Amino acid sequence: MYAILDIESTGGKYNEEGIMEIAIHRFDGHKVVDKFMSLVNPEREIQPFVTKLTGINNHMLRSAPKFHEVAKRIVEITEGTVLVAHNAQFDYRILRTEFRRLGYDFQRKTLCTVDLSKKLLPDAESHSLGKLVRSLGIPMSDRHRANGDAIATLKLFKLLLGKDSDKQIMKEVIREAEHGELSPNQLDMVSELPSETGVYYMHDKDGEIIFLGKTKNIKKRVNQHFTNAGTLARKLQKYTKKVSYERTGSELMAILKEYVELVSTRPKYNSISHKKLFSHTVNFSLNGEPHITVKIVKGQMQQEQKIRFNGVSSAINFLKRASEEFDICPASMGLKKSCSHNENGCLSGCSDIKDVENYNQKMLSILHKYGIENRSLALLDKGREHGEQGLVLIKNGRLQGFGYVELNHQINNIHILESLITPMCGDENTTFIIESYLRKSHGLKVLDLSPSL
């Protein structure tokens, strides 16, 4: 017996969401034998984006029953069933959370039609409910409403049941009630984490760091570790006894901190590569010519000014974008494409490089914007709180460390900045990380400190 379930929640912070609509169809494998659907007064505000998505607003829910008024009916209709939902982990968590608020431990086995469809329909372009049922020709109405989505999930489930001829996949994807749920200890750990950018550390019973990572949302990422089903996730769920963290504000600072600390702490369950993060460089040199030439080189040590890339295609794409951004002939950059500067193309010599001084200045501008080789720079990014900026300090092309300054702090003196940062040991990989970040236009403010040296 199955209970096909769909829940529409209010949105909001993790584990603070409320149910505002629920639909359950009790299905015996052949036909629906019972059904329940209702709006629910969540006793909290609905997030605006949820109202826009579902059409459900706060006014509609004022007279709706509260969850404790429908809880008994939910227990009865799901008794002895396997809960089936599209992204069952989400619906089951929300449902258990609501029951937990009432002091009731609601437990059911679950089956996720996302997991099932990935196994039985591996060639589907998308496994989202809307796109998947459309591709299968399953009619759907009232999208993003509980009953509409529940009926679509039911029709999808019937189709999938028919495809599971030997029933082996069904056995594999049925989850025990605890699967995808957090233990009380894990709930406590997650509840104390911020939904902010930074680095998190997972500790064992002896306090040793067994895993660390960087993320834009610490709470969400650690929760994923505790609810995922992979080999790594199971190890972290078993051995993690404490989670600590450091907010960075800046994503770049989180990436750099993760890289440097992985090398120094070598956690048990992190995969640490000893290889260079980049494979090729774009070298800028005079090479006996009056104008600067560029060349993509496999990433060995080079003396020329260079920018680092992970792969030839990445380097080529960068040169294409740079040629457009700085109005430089693509052919002069080795891209095998005629430019618009010469009516006859570039067959008889590119007219763009005849003005050597202007051409070279454009090439240096590329280096100045996207490269840090032999340069001393202060990179200013988001801070951890209002009135603060994150600072990444580079000296002679190498990472020196990062720290934080107030918005009105004097930050054009490298010697002052050196006293403010937490030192880090930079290498070619940290240089690659910084250059890659610069290329993604994250809005970093770049201060050139070379003149003050």
Ordered by start, the domain boundaries in the chain are 2-173, 184-265, 280-370, 377-452
Task: With a cut of 70, say whether residue 174 has pLDDT above it.
Answer: no
How far is the CA of 175 from the CAs of 75, 78, 121, 178, in angstroms? 19, 16, 20, 8
Task: With a cut of 50, say whether residue 178 has pLDDT above it.
Answer: no
Can you tell me the distance from the alpha carbon of 51 to that of 144, in angstroms, rounded to the nearest whole number?
Answer: 10
The lowest-confidence range among 52-66, 97-111, 410-424, 433-447 is 410-424
Q: CATH code for 2-173?
A: 3.30.420.10
For the ranges 9-18, 143-152, 290-299, the one whose mean pLDDT is highest: 143-152
pLDDT band at 179 (very low <50, low <70, confident <90, very high): low
Tokens of 311: 């792969």
pLDDT band at 353 (very low <50, low <70, confident <90, very high): low
The answer to whether the CB of 260 falls within 8 A of the CB of 214 is: no
Q: What share of the chain has pLDDT > 70, as a percent?
A: 86
Averaged pLDDT, 236-246: 91
Angle between helices 251-265 and 428-439 (to 10 degrees): 160
Averaged pLDDT, 153-162: 85
Phi, psi angles (nearest 5°) of residue 284: -115, 120
pTM of the model: 0.59
Tokens of 191: 């509840």
pLDDT in tens, 255-272: 999 998 998 889 999 987
The answer to whether the CB of 71 falls within 8 A of the CB of 104 is: yes
pLDDT at 33: 94
**For residue 331, which of 395, 341, 26 has the smallest C-alpha distance?**
341
Mean pLDDT, the chain, as a whole number? Answer: 84
* 364 Cβ contact list (under 8 Å, min separation 6): 292
Task: With a cut of 80, say whether residue 372 has pLDDT above it.
Answer: yes
**For residue 382, which of 263, 248, 261 has the smallest C-alpha distance?**
248
The lowest-confidence range among 207-216, 280-289, 408-417 is 408-417
pLDDT at 293: 81
Residue type at 421?
Answer: I
**Cβ–Cβ contacts within 10 Å for residue 140, how many?**
16
SS3 category, 225: helix
Task: With a cut of 80, say whether residue 390 has pLDDT above it.
Answer: yes
Name which residue leads in pLDDT, 178 or 18: 18
pLDDT at 349: 45
Averaged pLDDT, 195-223: 93
Can you tell me the distance from the alpha carbon of 367 to that of 296, in angstroms, rounded to the nearest whole number?
Answer: 14
Name which residue leads in pLDDT, 183 or 177: 183
pLDDT band at 200 (very low <50, low <70, confident <90, very high): very high
pLDDT at 452: 46
Averaged pLDDT, 116-127: 85
pLDDT at 123: 82
Q: What share of the chain has pLDDT > 90, as a percent?
A: 29
pLDDT at 8: 93
pLDDT at 212: 95
Averaged pLDDT, 301-308: 72
Q: CATH code for 184-265?
A: 3.40.1440.10
pLDDT at 342: 53
Task: With a cut of 70, say whether residue 41 has pLDDT above it.
Answer: yes
pLDDT at 32: 92
pLDDT band at 177 (very low <50, low <70, confident <90, very high): very low
* 202 Cβ contact list (under 8 Å, min separation 6): 209, 210, 211, 212, 222, 225, 236, 240, 242, 243, 267
Residue environment code for 229-259, b if the CB has 16+ CB neighbours within 10 A, otherwise e: eeeeeebbbebbeebebbbbbbbbbbbbbbb
Tokens of 330: 């693509």
Report the sign of the C-alpha dihedral through residues 399, 401, 404, 405, in that order.
negative
pLDDT at 347: 42
Name which residue leads in pLDDT, 443 or 153: 153
Name which residue leads in pLDDT, 330 or 250: 250
DSSP string, 26-93: EE-SSSEEEEEEEE-B-SSPPPHHHHHHH---HHHHTTSPBHHHHHHHHHHHHTT-EEEETTHHHHHH
Averaged pLDDT, 63-75: 94
Averaged pLDDT, 427-444: 85
pLDDT band at 215 (very low <50, low <70, confident <90, very high): very high
**For residue 448, which of 389, 395, 382 has the smallest C-alpha distance?**
395
Name which residue leads in pLDDT, 168 or 355: 355
